[in-house]
């Protein structure tokens, strides 16, 4: 089978940096905690677990820790969590991705000047929660085009739109347009990270020319889900798999060209396994 593998796949620079930070801390010894899993990739999390790294899921769990190092992952956290770590006299290693940190700085500054922050992204996603935790006044989350269409604002503040770093770029543009058409006084900063934009554009163009598309990534990875969504629009034969084990396909003869892309947390060895399998067995 002929296969096109996207070039912009595997761990993005932010996730890579965060994972390296954890391995570096492991060398120094002591109790190491990450605030949330460092990546959605289960194999990496398991390997770190073997090395004694523990994952904290909430500020309540953080409150139980008496000593050690807390590593903040690439998604970032709200301002409160930094304060809690400091007040508990724990060491903090901040591996927040610089693209996420930039959003924190923007929303903190803009909300302080009295603007109403709107985060275009998935409500409940840790990055979005963290971003909201840097706003001086409560932020609003818009997840979809429908929510943007239904949105109505009665206040008198200027609206200020930012996006989750992994949001679908075209969808973000459409949402901005809806806000402008509604006649709101709105400022926009496109905070979708470059790695995401490049990955999505490449995935779209590959999906448009292949007969079948495979998207590899963790079940909980929102950037992989978005890639799947994008590829599905271009190629209805799109499959979302976590590892090679999920790939049980009977291919119709008409399939001659297969495309492969992967989310930001997918390690290279899984991508390679899948592409070799498809090349040889299909
Ligand atoms: Fe950072 Fe973009 Fe990765 S925001 S964590 S480089 S997907």
Query: What does each of the 282 residues of the chain score in pLDDT, given as a tens digit?
Result: 899 999 998 888 899 999 999 999 999 989 999 999 998 777 788 899 999 999 999 999 999 999 999 999 999 999 999 999 999 999 999 999 999 999 999 999 999 999 999 999 999 999 999 999 999 999 999 999 999 999 999 999 999 999 999 999 899 999 999 999 999 989 999 999 988 889 999 999 999 999 999 999 988 888 899 999 999 999 999 999 999 999 887 777 788 999 999 998 888 889 999 999 999 887
Choose the residue to mutate in 8, 13, 127 for probing ligand 1, maximizing ligand atoms within 8 Å of C-beta.
13
Ligand 1, atom 5: closest residue by C-alpha: 14
- Which protein residues touch ligand 1 with a CB less than 6 Å away? 12-15, 74, 97, 99-100, 165-166, 193, 195-196, 264
Looking at residue 10, what is its pLDDT? 81
* Cβ partners under 8 Å of residue 58, min gap 6: none
**Calpha distance 54→22 (Å, rounded):** 11
Q: Which atom of ligand 1 is nearest to the CA of 75?
A: 5
Query: Hey, CA dihedral for 216, 217, 218, 220, is it positive or negative?
Result: negative
Distance from the CA of 185 to the center of ligand 1, in angstroms? 29
Query: How much is the pTM?
Result: 0.85
**Calpha distance 47→55 (Å, rounded):** 12
Distance from the CA of 68 to the center of ligand 1, in angstroms? 26
pLDDT digits (tens, 9 = 90+) for 19-37: 999 999 999 989 999 999 9
Ligand 1, atom 6: closest residue by C-alpha: 14
Ligand 1, atom 1: closest residue by C-alpha: 14
Examine the residue annotation and report whether 2 is marked as an active-site residue of this protein.
no
Which candidate in 2, 24, 110, 127 is catalytic? 127
The first and second tokens of residue 265, run together, are 């947390």
């Amino acid at each position: 089978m002929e296969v096109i593998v996207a070039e912009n796949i595997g761990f993005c620079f932010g996730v890579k940096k965060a994972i390296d930070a954890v391995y570096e801390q492991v060398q120094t010894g002591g109790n190491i905690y990450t605030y949330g899993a460092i990546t959605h990739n289960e194999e990496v999390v398991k390997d770190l677990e073997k090395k004694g790294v523990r994952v904290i899921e909430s500020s309540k769990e953080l409150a139980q820790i008496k000593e050690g190092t807390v590593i903040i992952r690439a998604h970032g956290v709200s301002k409160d969590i930094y304060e809690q770590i400091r007040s508990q006299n724990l060491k903090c290693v901040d591996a927040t991705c610089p693209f996420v940190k930039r959003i924190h700085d923007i929303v903190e500054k803009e909300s302080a000047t009295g603007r109403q922050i709107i985060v275009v992204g998935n409500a409940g996603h840790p990055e979005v929660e963290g971003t909201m935790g840097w706003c001086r006044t409560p932020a609003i989350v818009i997840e979809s085009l429908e929510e943007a269409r239904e949105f109505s604002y009665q206040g008198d503040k200027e609206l200020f739109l930012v996006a989750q770093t992994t949001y679908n770029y075209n969808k973000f543009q459409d949402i901005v347009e809806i806000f402008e058409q509604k006649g709101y006084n709105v400022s926009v900063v496109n905070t979708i990270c470059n790695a995401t934009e490049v990955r999505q554009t490449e995935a779209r163009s590959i999906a448009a020319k292949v007969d079948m598309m495979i998207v590899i990534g963790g079940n909980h990875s929102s950037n992989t889900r978005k890639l799947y969504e994008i590829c599905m629009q271009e190629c209805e034969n799109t499959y979302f798999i976590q590892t090679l084990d999920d790939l049980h396909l009977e291919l119709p003869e008409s399939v001659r060209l297969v495309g492969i892309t992967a989310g930001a947390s997918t390690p290279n060895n899984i991508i390679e396994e899948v592409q070799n399998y498809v090349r040889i067995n299909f």
